[in-house]
């Protein structure tokens, strides 16, 4: 287990604190890094995470009782596809922590998207089904794969362009576990905005969108 690995930063972003930190680190360990440093990569974890993700999404669909089997299958495919998982990882802003040997320019979309599965598997291994379910339903793209704009990504690009501090997000959860509500507050460029939603992602995206509206002088 590496003492330099940013465990706390990742745990804050994914909303889960690990008892066994080595499981979290393995979730981010690409095969190139594992081969170079004589460790186990995250490919087996990705395999497990795929099944964990499929079960959680399927259960979520089933409890909604809105579609038949055929429509559920199509909808699930959109939620767990590479593009949707890539967008979810980008919204979480965790791809930067991927442990890879060599140029990061070679990191493809598939590698980034698989992080969602490896993190889901890691949480499942460390804490069981309930926290894994909370992570997936709080961060997966559950809107049927609609091409919504990634405002968190746009805000991140903006701070990088101007060389200012990274956006800081603060999250507050209210309501019952089966009907949660989230309030997110984001600060960047010495300005703050608030967003609300039924999921953590919705709240953070709305907060980022509202902050971008306040930063129009920078986005012109």
pLDDT in tens, 83-107: 899 989 988 889 999 999 887 776 7
d(CA 116, CA 87): 10
What does the alpha-carbon distance between residue 25 and residue 10 come to, in Å, rounded to a whole number? 10
Fold category of 7-139 in CATH: Ribonuclease iii, N-terminal Endonuclease Domain; Chain A (1.10.1520)
Using DSSP's 3-state secondary structure scheme, residue 68 falls into coil
Q: Which residue has the tokens 């609300």?
A: 196
Distances (CA, A) of 11 to 6, 61, 101, 188, 202: 9, 27, 23, 21, 19
Residues 6+ apart with CB under 8 A from 136: 52, 53, 56, 57, 120
Q: According to CATH, where is 1.10.1520.10 located in the chain?
A: 7-139
Rounded CA-CA distance 50/35 in Å is: 23
Active-site pick, 41, 93, 117, 204? 117
Tokens of 83: 């593009």
Q: How confident is the prediction along the chain (220 residues), in pLDDT tens digits per residue?
A: 555 899 999 998 898 999 999 999 999 999 999 989 888 999 999 999 999 999 999 998 888 776 788 888 888 898 999 989 998 998 888 999 999 988 777 678 899 999 999 999 999 999 999 999 999 988 888 865 444 567 888 888 888 888 889 899 999 988 877 778 889 999 999 999 999 988 888 888 899 989 988 888 776 6
Token pair listed for 47:
């395999």
CB-side neighbour CA atoms (13 Å) of 214: 16
- 151-219 topology per CATH: Double Stranded RNA Binding Domain (3.30.160)
| Per-residue tokens: 168 | 């800081």
Burial of residue 146, with CB atoms counted within 10 A of its CB: 0-12 exposed, 13-18 middle, 19 or more buried = exposed
Q: Give the list of residues 6+ apart from residue 64 with CB closer than 8 angstroms, or none.
A: none
- Check if 117 is active-site: yes
Whether 50 is catalytic is yes
Catalytic residue among 50, 59, 67, 194: 50
> Where do you find CATH 3.30.160.20 in the chain?
151-219
Do you know the residue count of the chain? 220
Residue with tokens 């493809």: 108
- What does each C-alpha distance from 95 to 29, 43, 133, 179, 214 come to in angstroms? 11, 16, 21, 29, 27
Classify 29 as helix, strand or coil: strand
Average pLDDT, the chain: 87
- CA pair distance 91, 46, nearest whole angstrom: 19
According to the model, what pLDDT value does residue 144 have? Answer: 53
């Amino acid at each position: 287990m590496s003492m330099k690995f940013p465990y706390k930063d990742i745990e804050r972003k994914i909303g889960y604190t690990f008892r066994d930190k080595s499981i979290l680190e393995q979730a981010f360990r690409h095969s190139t890094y594992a081969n170079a440093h004589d460790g186990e990569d995250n490919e087996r974890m990705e395999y497990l995470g795929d099944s964990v993700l499929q079960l959680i999404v399927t259960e979520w669909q089933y409890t909604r009782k809105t579609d038949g089997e055929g429509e559920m299958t199509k909808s699930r495919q959109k939620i767990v596809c590479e593009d949707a998982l890539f967008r979810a990882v980008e919204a979480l802003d965790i791809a930067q922590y991927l442990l890879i040997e060599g140029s990061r320019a070679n990191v493809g979309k598939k590698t980034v998207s698989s992080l969602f599965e490896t993190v889901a598997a890691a949480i499942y291994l460390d804490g069981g089904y309930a926290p894994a379910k909370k992570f997936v339903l709080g961060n997966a793209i559950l809107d049927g794969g609609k091409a919504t704009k990634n405002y968190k990504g746009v805000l991140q690009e903006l701070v990088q362009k101007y060389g200012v501090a990274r956006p800081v997000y603060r999250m507050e959860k209210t309501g019952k576990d089966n009907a949660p509500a989230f309030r997110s507050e984001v600060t960047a460029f010495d300005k703050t905005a608030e967003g609300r939603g039924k999921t953590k992602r919705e709240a953070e995206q709305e907060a980022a969108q509202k902050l971008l509206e306040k930063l129009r002088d920078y986005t012109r």
